[in-house]
C-alpha cells in the first residue's frame, strides 16, 4: 500500500510535541508517548530508524534539533514516508527562508499546519513542489524571491497547476533578462588503504540549476557522457568526435525530465521549474581523477611516543588551486603533548575530536606539502586496549575541476517567443567522505 503515514509528529529533543497532524484514524493520539518512553528515553535512539512498538510502527529522522516521527499501523511504504519527510523539510525550509529548527516551527506553526493539510491527504503524499504551493499558500512568514504576487487573492489557475502535467512550473513568468546558471558539483568519496591502494572510490555529482526564464521553455542538455554521445552520433549517422567521454554508472533526474525520452534517445530534455533546483544526480566509479593523494606514516615508538608524518600531494593542474583544505589526522585519546612542523598551512591539536587538524586555506596544484608531528602520550599503568586507528579524513573544494571529467557540451533553450538566453556554467569538486586508513 502506498500509504506513507497515519500521523506525523514534530518533537523537540526533550520529546515535547511541537506540532502534529493525524491523517488516519488507525493510530491513537497518544502513540507518541510510546515513542518517547521506548525510543527517546532509552539507548535505542539512533540504533534503528524503523521500530515497532505495540501495534504501531515508528519511522523517525532527526533534522537539526527536531525529531520528525511518522506513525503507521499498516504495512506502509517506508521509502515513501522517509522521502516525504525529506521533501517536506525542504519545502518548509524554502518557506521559512533557510532554517528548519524548533524555533522555526514554533514561529510558523499556522503555516505548517496549512502545508501539512495540503501536502498529504489521508496518508498519501500530494504535490510538494514549493513553486506551486507558494502560489496559493501564502503567509506573512514567507520569504521568497519568486512570490511577487499579492498574497490575499489566490491565483485563479493555481489548481490546474498543482495537478497539471507540468506540476512544477507556473505559467506566465516574465524576465527581462533570460539567464540559466548551471553548477556541476561533484563529491569524491574515497576509501584508501594504509598501503595506498584504492578500496573504494566513486564520485557522486549533481547538476544544480538556477533558471530565470520567461514562458514555458523547453531545455535540452548535452554532456560528454559516453552513451549520450554514442546515441547522438548514431542518430546523426556520423562518427563520434574523438575526445574524452565519461561513463556514467547511474543517473537520476528531477521529476521535470522526460524519462521515457531519456531512455529512448538518451537526451536530457525538460521544462525547468522556476528558480533553483537539482536537475540530476549521477555516479561514476571508473576513471576518477583523485585530486589529492595522502601518504601517512605513523610510528608508535614505545608506549608513550608517536611519530606522525603526512604528505599530501595535489594532482590537479598547476594553474588550479583547492580551497579550504582540512586534513584531520587521528591520534590516541591519551595524547598529552603534540608538536608539529608544516611546510604549508597551519596545524593544531584538537582534543575534543582526538585529531591533529591541519588546515591549508589555498592549496595550489602539483605541490606536496608535508606535516610531521611528534605526539607524546600519557603513560598508563594498566594494559590498555590497542589504539583502533580511525582513518584520516580530508575536506576540500577544488573549483573548475571535475573529478569525473564531466563537461557540459551544450544547453539549448527553446521558447515560442524565441528569446536569447545567457548560460553560465561552473564546476566544483568537493570531498565527500575522503578517508585514508592509517
Residue of 50, 301, 336, 422 interacting with another protein (CB under 8 A): 50
Cβ proximity to another protein, 164 vs 405, nearer residue: 164
CA 246 to centroid of chain Cα atoms = 22
Task: Supply φ then ψ for residue 79, to 5 degrees.
Answer: -60, -45
101 binds another protein (CB under 8 A): no
Q: Under rule CB under 8 A, how many of the chain's residues touch another protein?
A: 110
Residue of 130, 167, 217, 291 interacting with another protein (CB under 8 A): 167
Grid coordinates 489557475 are at which residue? 157
Q: What cell does 28 get? A: 491513537
Residue of 145, 196, 199, 317 interacting with another protein (CB under 8 A): 199
Q: Which residues have CB under 8 Å from 436's CB, separation 6+?
A: 190, 192, 194, 294, 296, 391, 392, 394
Cβ proximity to another protein, 143 vs 177, nearer residue: 143
171 binds another protein (CB under 8 A): no
Q: What cell does 431 get? A: 570531498
Going by their DSSP bridges, the two strands 179-192 and 422-436 should be labelled as parallel
251 binds another protein (CB under 8 A): yes
Q: Please report, as residue ranges, which positions from 275 to 304 form the binding site for another protein (by CB under 8 A).
A: 278, 280-281, 283
378 binds another protein (CB under 8 A): no
Sheet (strand 66-72) strand order? 17-22, 7-12, 66-72, 56-63, 50-53
Site string for another protein, 322-361 (x = CB under 8 A): ----------------------------------------
Residue of 146, 262, 340, 419 interacting with another protein (CB under 8 A): 262
309 binds another protein (CB under 8 A): no
**Measured distance CA(193)–CA(27) in Å, rounded:** 49
**Measured distance CA(337)–CA(386) in Å, rounded:** 19
Q: Do 182 and 209 meet the contact criterion of CB atoms below 8 Å apart?
A: yes
131 binds another protein (CB under 8 A): no
| CA distance between the termini of the chain | 47
274 binds another protein (CB under 8 A): no
149 binds another protein (CB under 8 A): no
146 binds another protein (CB under 8 A): no
Cβ proximity to another protein, 57 vs 421, nearer residue: 57
We find the least distance from the C-beta atom of residue 242 to another protein, in angstroms, to be 26
Q: What cell does 271 get? A: 521544462
64 binds another protein (CB under 8 A): no
Q: What cell does 91 get? A: 519545502
380 binds another protein (CB under 8 A): no
Residue of 14, 43, 48, 416 interacting with another protein (CB under 8 A): 48
DSSP structure class, residue 242:
P
Amino acid at each position: 500500500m502506498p500509504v506513507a503515514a497515519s500521523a506525523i509528529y514534530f518533537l523537540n529533543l526533550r520529546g515535547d510535541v511541537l506540532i502534529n497532524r493525524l491523517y488516519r484514524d488507525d493510530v491513537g493520539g497518544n502513540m507518541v508517548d510510546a515513542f518517547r518512553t521506548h525510543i527517546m528515553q532509552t539507548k535505542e535512539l539512533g540504533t534503528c530508524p524503523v521500530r515497532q512498538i505495540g501495534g504501531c510502527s515508528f519511522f523517525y529522522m532527526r533534522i537539526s534539533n527536531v525529531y520528525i516521527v511518522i506513525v503507521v499501523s499498516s504495512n506502509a511504504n517506508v521509502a515513501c514516508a522517509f522521502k516525504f519527510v525529506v521533501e517536506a523539510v525542504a519545502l518548509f525550509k524554502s518557506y521559512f527562508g533557510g532554517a528548519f529548527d524548533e524555533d522555526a516551527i514554533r514561529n510558523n506553526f499556522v503555516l505548517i499546519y496549512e502545508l501539512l493539510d495540503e501536502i498529504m491527504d489521508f496518508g498519501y503524499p500530494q504535490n510538494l513542489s514549493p513553486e506551486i504551493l507558494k502560489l496559493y499558500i501564502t503567509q506573512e512568514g514567507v520569504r521568497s524571491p519568486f512570490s511577487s504576487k499579492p498574497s490575499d487573492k489566490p491565483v485563479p489557475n493555481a489548481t490546474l497547476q498543482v495537478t497539471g502535467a507540468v506540476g512544477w512550473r507556473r505559467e506566465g513568468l516574465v524576465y527581462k533578462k533570460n539567464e540559466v546558471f548551471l553548477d556541476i558539483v561533484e563529491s569524491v568519496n574515497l576509501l584508501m588503504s594504509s598501503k595506498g591502494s584504492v578500496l573504494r572510490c566513486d564520485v557522486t555529482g549533481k547538476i544544480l540549476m538556477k533558471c530565470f526564464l520567461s514562458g514555458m521553455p523547453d531545455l535540452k542538455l548535452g554532456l560528454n557522457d559516453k552513451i549520450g554521445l554514442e546515441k547522438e552520433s548514431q542518430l546523426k549517422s556520423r562518427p563520434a568526435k574523438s575526445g574524452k567521454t565519461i561513463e556514467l554508472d547511474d543517473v537520476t533526474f528531477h521529476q521535470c525530465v522526460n524519462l521515457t525520452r531519456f531512455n529512448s534517445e538518451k537526451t536530457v530534455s525538460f521544462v525547468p521549474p522556476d528558480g533553483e533546483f537539482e536537475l540530476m544526480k549521477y555516479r561514476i566509479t571508473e576513471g576518477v581523477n583523485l585530486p589529492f593523494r595522502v601518504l601517512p606514516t605513523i610510528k608508535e615508538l614505545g608506549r608513550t611516543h608517536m611519530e606522525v608524518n603526512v604528505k599530501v600531494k595535489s594532482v590537479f593542474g598547476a594553474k588550479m588551486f583547492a580551497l579550504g583544505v582540512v586534513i584531520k589526522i587521528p591520534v590516541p585519546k591519551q595524547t598529552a603533548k603534540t608538536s608539529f612542523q608544516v611546510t604549508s598551512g597551519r596545524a593544531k591539536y584538537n582534543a575534543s575530536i582526538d585529531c591533529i587538524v591541519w588546515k591549508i586555506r589555498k592549496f595550489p596544484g602539483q605541490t606536496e606539502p608535508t606535516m610531521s608531528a611528534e605526539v607524546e602520550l600519557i603513560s598508563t599503568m594498566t594494559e590498555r586496549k590497542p589504539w583502533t586507528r580511525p582513518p584520516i579524513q580530508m575536506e576540500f573544494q577544488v573549483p573548475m575541476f571535475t573529478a569525473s571529467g564531466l563537461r557540459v557540451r551544450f544547453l539549448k533553450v527553446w521558447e515560442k517567443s524565441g528569446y536569447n538566453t545567457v548560460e553560465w556554467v561552473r564546476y566544483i569538486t568537493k570531498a565527500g567522505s575522503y578517508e585514508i586508513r592509517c
